[in-house]
Amino acid sequence: MKYEAVIGLEIHCELKTNTKIFCGCETGFGGDQNTHVCPVCLGLPGVLPTINKRVVEFGIKAGLATNCTINKFSKFDRKNYYYPDLPKNWQTSQYDLPIAEHGWVDIDVEGEKKRVRLTRIHMEEDAGKLVHSGNTIKDSASSNVDYNRTGVPLLEIVSEPDMHTAEEARTYMEKIKAIMEYIDVSNCRMEEGNLRADVNVSIRPVGSKELGTRTEMKNINSFKSLVDAIDYEIDRQTEVLEDGGHIVQETRTWDPNRGITLSMRSKEDAHDYRYMPEPDLPPIVTTDEQIEAYRKELPELPDARRERLEKEYGLSDYDAGVITSSRPMAEYFDEVVAGGADAKLAANWIMGELAKHLNAENKTIVDSPVEPARLAAMIQMITKGTISSKIAKTVFEEMWTSKDAPEEIVKAKGLVQITDTKAIEEIVDKVIADNPKPVEDYKSGNKKAIGALVGQVMKQSKGKANPQMVNQLLAQKLG
Amino acid sequence: MKVTKEDIQNVAGLSRLAIPDTETDVYIAQLGGFLEYVENLKEIDTEGVAPTTYALPMQNVFREDVVKPSLDREAALSNAPMKEDGYFKVPRVLEE
């Protein structure tokens, strides 16, 4: 039987506020354990939480940027469960009146546009971190708890089960990441856990409308793990069903080292969160005027920016998609173009050489040693014919390791393109004399043979001859 | 509402409490009495009344996003039954 997967994501996005959601403790990553804590986030008796205004602002903006309806009356609720990373024994979250609901984002998978609906976006507090004494949580006799992260504000972005492949899930999560970066509500650093997903996966026979039993994998914190975990889980569930078994609804953990998912807890019926309205926090009432004011503050979003790059600069849909997939890259591109570079060449260089160099050194575009201004200057030199694209690669290589301007590099290394007809002609004559075979081929009708001759001229000029002139002169001389 | 032995064990389980069978009758009576009292509310006609989500006539109580000093770690840990290297120490957390 052929099966199809049904996938839904709950993405937790840590907000870039200065302070926690209900107290004035700082949110910075990497502080010494239990140094960003106070009576409120430690849940000591008698304390009162107060909502951080900026969290509400970020929640509304995230909702607007994902086409949600903003709930003008929203409130917090207590989600009760016992786990030592939660000092109050409940997580302050939102239940039936989240800040935003019923949104959608569009994703592109293999050239096809697909809409993923958002069920809701709600605000909540993050939990603390457990450090286990044993190798795994299961063989630890005790655990140590750091409450620095407790109370750090999160948005939980819940999708409908609208995805069917690991690739769709990855693209969706990338889109959410891009939007949160664009509207500047989160640093979205996955390696620091700013963005993590709980993934629900089930499978059903192709054509069936009924949903199969799902499993949930918690705290997936890289795109690679997301794809690997989903693919593994689809295979595992398919195998279970094909062997005549049935899927157990459970939480599983993804082990990236072994590349498998493992059962964590199967007592799903024990999950009774007994939500109740948070009696310590008054409701949040938002007016249409406030919502519109927040909407006006939103920057140009990825989809709109992509469309603009296509219309304004004639970039292909694919290129515009890659360039706008992250805000820093889109801004880098804009700066290169503002610096006078041809837009298509700018896109090619950013997606080609620059991306290659960044990947090789595990750098992000923000830390690029080649600044937009220098790349723009170099691209202008190509457009003007001062250097060839081939030489430009050498120049780029130099810029990567030095602070020199491209003009200086070209001058110092003698890389200026030869556009002097005489100089090129000399080389052309020599190449024609030294290569009778391709010359003969060309003359007897094999026009492609000119390629070998052009190659020879370029080689002898060390890449500096202007290729158009070489082509022209060769064609002339060979009649 | 009739409270059963299973209800008591379920609620106790959710609260991580171990209640021996010999004591369940006590709690059936206590919890039952409490719920019975709350049942009185059912006699009020709430047709057309919006559910209360907050008891006081207040809304939009916010604070600015400004950092305030945190507790000293020593003070934060001073009431902890167990601690280690600046951490709160807790018994193993995963049930079988």
ipTM of the complex: 0.88
Count of domains forming chain B: 1
How confident is the model over A249-288, as pLDDT tens digits? 888 888 888 888 888 765 545 568 889 999 999 999 999 9
Q: Which residue has the tokens 């069917």?
A: A164
Distance from CA of B79 to the nearest CA of A (A): 10
pTM of the prediction? 0.84
Distance from CA of A181 to the nearest CA of B (A): 20
CB proximity A47 to B under 8 Å? no
Positions of E strands within A88-241: 90-93, 100-109, 112-125, 129-132, 142-146, 153-159, 195-205, 215-220
Question: pLDDT band at B87, cuts 50/70/90?
Answer: very high
* In a domain? residue B16: yes
Question: pLDDT band at A137, cuts 50/70/90?
Answer: low
Structural contact between residues A233 and A255, judged by C-beta atoms closer than 8 angstroms: no
Interface of B with A in 28-87 (CB under 8 A): 53-56, 58-71, 73, 76-77, 82, 84-87
In terms of residue numbers, what domain contains B15? 1-45
Which DSSP symbol is given to A351?
A: I
CB proximity A263 to B under 8 Å? no
CATH class for the domain made up of A421-478: mainly alpha
* In a domain? residue B7: yes
Amino acid at A361: E
Cβ–Cβ of B63/A50 closer than 8 Å?
Answer: yes
How confident is the model over A376-393, as pLDDT tens digits? 999 999 998 888 888 899
Question: pLDDT band at B51, cuts 50/70/90?
Answer: confident
Domain CATH number, residue B24:
1.10.20.60
Count the helix, strand and coil residues of chain A and give each as a percent rounded to the nearest 5.
Answer: 40, 20, 35
pLDDT exceeds 50 at position B96: no
Boundaries of CATH 1.10.10.410 in chain A?
421-478
Question: pLDDT band at A135, cuts 50/70/90?
Answer: low
3-class DSSP state of B18: coil
Question: Which of B87, B89, B95, B96 best tests the A interface by mutation, with the highest count of A CBs <10 A?
Answer: B87
* In a domain? residue B72: no
Question: pLDDT band at B95, cuts 50/70/90?
Answer: low
Task: Report the pLDDT averaged over residues A240-244.
Answer: 92
Distance from CA of A115 to the nearest CA of B (A): 34
Residues A174-201: b if buried by 16+ CB within 10 A, e if exposed = bbbbbbbbbbebbbbebeebbbbbbbbb
pLDDT top residue among A227 and A385: A227
A96, A273, A333, A343 from A320: Cα distances, Å = 39, 45, 10, 11
Helix A166-182 × helix A53-65 angle, to 10°:
130
pLDDT exceeds 90 at position A28: no
Percent residues over pLDDT 70 in chain B: 95
Cβ–Cβ of A50/B62 closer than 8 Å?
Answer: yes
Q: Which of B14, B53, B77 sits opposite A34 (nearest CB)?
A: B77
Distance from CA of A331 to the nearest CA of B (A): 27
* In a domain? residue B28: yes
Tokens coding A167: 């690739």
Question: Which of B38, B60, B88 best tests the A interface by mutation, with the highest count of A CBs <10 A?
Answer: B88
Chain pair A-B, CB pairs under 8 angstroms: 127
Q: Which of B65, B70, B76 sits opposite A18 (nearest CB)?
A: B65
CB proximity B18 to A under 8 Å? no
* In a domain? residue B52: no
* In a domain? residue B29: yes
Distance from CA of B9 to the nearest CA of A (A): 12
How confident is the model over A65-95, as pLDDT tens digits? 999 999 999 999 999 988 889 999 999 999 9
- The H-or-E segment that residue A79 falls in is strand A77-80
* In a domain? residue B62: no
CB proximity A290 to B under 8 Å? no
* In a domain? residue B18: yes
How confident is the model over B9-18, as pLDDT tens digits? 988 888 888 9
Interface of A with B in 310-339 (CB under 8 A): none
Task: Report the pLDDT averaged over residues A211-228.
Answer: 93
Distance from CA of B83 to the nearest CA of A (A): 8
Cβ–Cβ of B92/A24 closer than 8 Å?
Answer: no
Q: Which of A454, A448, A389, A376 is nearest to A415 (CA)?
A: A389
